[in-house]
Amino acid sequence: MKQWLHDLGPLRQILLGLVLTLTVVAPFSGGSDHEGLAILINLVAPALYVMMFFVLPMDMFMSYIFRVEQTGSKRVRMNHILQIELVAFIVMNLSWYPFVAKLINA
């Protein structure tokens, strides 16, 4: 597990940590309370979700481009990164689906 995280690199670890945090916060977003910690959950988290909705696929695309020119173990590493980011993207979007559906139907 430690090697797996090390292979991601520090920037991708931060990116996936933010995606994990947004995934955990998603069920609590969408309230009308805008005081204290609720500001982070109800205002900041949805804005960050939209940013990650575009940033994560962009990083996946760049990983795919770098993977094309790699061989051997470096190619396997890039495949693992792509798989991890794809799962993170799907889970993040599934967790935010109720919030987005409520916005679209409003």
Three-state SS for 106? coil
Predicted TM-score (pTM) of this structure: 0.89
Provide block-wise average pLDDT over 10 residues at a time, the chain (106 residues). Answer: 78 95 92 81 93 96 91 90 95 96 87
The whole-angstrom separation of Cα 67 and Cα 82 is: 9
Q: What is the DSSP letter of 29?
A: -
* C-alpha closest to that of 20 among 88, 82, 83: 88
The pLDDT assigned to 1 comes to 65
